[in-house]
Structure 1
Amino acid sequence: MKTCKHLTALIIGLLLTSCYKDINMDKYRPEPTLVLNSILSPDTTVMVQVSQTVFFTDYRQGYSNIADAEVYLYVNGTKMEKMKYDTTSQKYLSAYRPSPGDGIAIEADSPMGTIYGCDSIPEVIPIEEVTLTVRTFDDPDQIIWTPDGPAYGKSYEATYHITFTDNPDRQNFYFIRIESGNGLAAETIDYSYDDVFLAQQSPVDGIDTDTGIYGNEGRTFTDELFNGTRYTLKIVEKAPLFTGGDDSRPRKIILYSLSESYYQYLTGIFNADEESVSGNLMDWGLSEPSPHYTNITGGTGIVGSVQSRSVYTDLKDALK
């Protein structure tokens, strides 16, 4: 019997060994594609990053950048300048700061080919008012151990009422974000309390919105439901109500006005992987090129435009 067991184990080991085989992934490697990324804003001069796609098995940092391209900036159809490559930032820089309404085009000629993208700078829509309503409640998920035994801790729901007036002369595209005082995303944010997010989410993936639409990094939306009117967004923040210290909970509410191209790009990314986007939408390195949308000819990437306005508040007084 012992010999039979040994023989069985040997046969199983041979079978398992035969299941493994080295696969040469290089035969699946596609030709690299040019990537052009530029986020345009009146708050900064035009900057452009030119790179190439990287195969998923390769190390991504650094070497995919293209430093020997000739990059040209066009404003409202006129060639403005040849942009200079900056080795520190690994971007092509210009001296031009775009204005609202400008049509910006970028063309890059490289040994891999020519790539082109363009966009128009949107008008900014400011936040007019932010008010807060808050409720606190005993939360069975927050257990506190006391000398007298376990007790429920408290949590809060803070509803932000964010008011702005939409421009009736055109279709507008937006992004809303609520940050904590250190610039990071705030606590758990639920967008399911406002119809603009419910209307957007349902046809995208058919989720059950009764469970909430969560996303701490922000959310895109359009003016389809309130075109040309004064509108108040309702967004809810949920978190445990820890006390101690000065109990300060500073918040920064940012309303971004987007071009349609940048709206399409960001919406595709957020529906696929929200964590790939964080922080200021005018920062670089937001994401790998999105498979959902690109406005680039001759490659992939995005030339997008954005403006923003912010309002600061603090939950401290409202929670009291």
Structure 2
Amino acid sequence: MKPVLFLCILLLASSCMKEIDLEHMRPAPKLVLNSVASNGEILKASLSRTWFYTDGKPNQLLEARIGLYVNDQFKEEMSLNMDANDYYSFGNYVASYIPVSGDKVRIEVEKGGFNSLLAETTVPYKPELISLKAESFIRDDYYGSTQSRFKITFRDEPTVGNCYLIMVYRGEPHYEYDDYEAPPIYQDEYYWHKEYVDYSSDPVFENKISILDKVMGNDWLSGGGGRPFSDELFNGKEYTMTLKGNSSYGYNPGYPYLEERLPDSVRVYLYTITEPYYKYLSALTSLYDGSLNNDLADIGLAEPVRVFCNIDGGLGILGAACVDSLTVVVPKAN
């Protein structure tokens, strides 16, 4: 009886299987352009193409004509940098032009076999970053853990709706040993790394966490690469953003004693960004957030996040930004 039952189950299971040929679903490939015009930095652009699921991960480095226009005047053709020693520009198209605030930047791309691309943006002006204050407090007396809190004050321009990106870095003094029996020696430099702050600690980001996420215990908003926000809550006003940093569980025994060790520093970068760039970054941060909606979207039970695009004729983003920064010492916890 059991073999017959097993055979029936096998036949039922096999009847639910269907081989799908994906090739008839293959769309025509499109060019993908990604670039950010930042005030005071050489303009770079990445050009690639879309690829189909069955292609694996093909080489997408493309040679094309990329024309750069500034304030409606032709500036130059961007050149493909293939110098492998140039880490930050290798594989990108590079211009000699350095954008400044107020410039209208247009990029046009021509590549045989593809639709031509066109994208345009205007470089924004520098944000008004007023002050940065760092605090430290004891989080757990038993384990000796401490936590930092950062208060960033800036003023918003009242005449227009503004979009921003904020990033927090932490600097730790660099020590090395000449002799393991002697105290380590400070090397006159700091190591800087991204501070993984909890962005949910400020009202600007509260609406990014749904009620269901809070019920499920997901009340943390990360953002190692920074987090975008708009001036919806404080348009035209001075605003102080409060963010909590990582917890620290004491100092490495290899460092000098606490009273001798130089303090850490914190550096905040505040960018003014264009609205299309804000929409693009908001979609990316939503994709990386550990939300219930993303989990449901992965199994086809919710609408997936759609990434914003402002490239006519293709995909990608042409954003623009202008940055200000402040650096302060992180005090010892009281």
TM > 0.5 fold call: yes
Q: 1:56 to 1:126 in 2, by over 3 A?
A: farther
Question: For residue 146 of structure 1, what is the aligned residue in structure 2?
Answer: none
Equivalences for residues 55-134 of structure 1 within 5 A: 55-60=52-57, 63-67=59-63, 69-88=64-83, 89-111=90-112, 112-134=114-136
Query: Residues 83 and 242 from structure 1, CA distance in 2 versus in 1: closer, same or farther, beyond 3 angstroms?
Result: same
2:302 corresponds to 1:302: no
Q: Distance in 1 between matches of 2:212 and 2:36?
A: 31
- Output the CA distance in 2 between the equivalents of 1:154 and 1:225: 37
**Aligned-partner residue type, residue 81 of structure 1:** E
Q: TM-score, normalised by structure 1?
A: 0.77
SS state at 1:196 partner = helix
SS at match of 1:308: strand
Do the aligned partners of 1:190 and 1:214 also contact (CA within 8 Å) in 2?
yes
| 1:237 is aligned to 2:233 | no
C-alpha distance in 2, partners of 1:301/1:18?
A: 42
Structure 1 residue identity aligned to 2:62: I
Identify the range of structure 1 (245-254 vs 161-170) with the bigger mean alpha-carbon deviation. 245-254
Matched residues in 2 for 1:318 and 1:13: separation?
Answer: 67
* Counterpart code for 2:270: L
Which residue of structure 2 aligns with residue 185 of structure 1?
A: 194
Secondary structure at 2:276's aligned position in 1?
helix
- Correspondences of 1:31-70 after superposition (within 5 Å): 31-60=28-57, 63-67=59-63, 69-70=64-65
Alignment of 1:1-320 (within 5 A): 4-5=1-2, 8-9=5-6, 12=9, 20=17, 22-60=19-57, 63-67=59-63, 69-88=64-83, 89-111=90-112, 112-138=114-140, 152-181=142-171, 182-187=191-196, 189-198=197-206, 200-201=207-208, 205=210, 212-217=219-224, 218-244=226-252, 245-246=255-256, 249-273=264-288, 291-315=306-330, 317-319=331-333
Residues 223 and 285 in structure 2, CA contact (< 8 A), matched pair in contact too? no
**Structure 1 residue 8 displacement after superposition:** 4.9
| Aligned-partner Cα distance in 1 for 2:82–2:286 | 34
The offset of 1:77, in angstroms, is: 0.9
Structure 1 residues 260 and 207 mapped into 2: Cα distance closer, same or farther (>3 Å)?
farther
Whether the 8 Å contact between 1:159 and 1:235 is mirrored in structure 2 is yes
Task: Give deviations 1:100-144, integer Å, cap 9, x for gaps.
Answer: 0100000101111211101111111153321123321337xxxxx
Deviation at 1:314, TM superposition (A): 4.2
> Kindly tell me: are residues 153 and 84 of structure 1, through their superposed partners in 2, closer, same or farther at Cα, counting changes over 3 Å?
same
Structure 1 residue 10 displacement after superposition: 5.6
The code of the aligned residue for 2:163 comes to: F
For these two proteins, the number of residue pairs brought into alignment is 284
Matched-pair contact (CA < 8 Å) for 2:150–2:244? yes
User: Is the 1:155–1:238 Cα contact (8 Å) retained in structure 2?
Assistant: no
TM-score, scaled to structure 2: 0.74
> What is the CA distance between 1:157 and its match in structure 2?
3.3
Distance 1:207 1:180, change over 3 A: farther
Unaligned runs of 5+ in 2: 84-89, 172-190, 291-304
SS in 1 for 2:51: coil
- Percent same amino acid among aligned pairs? 30
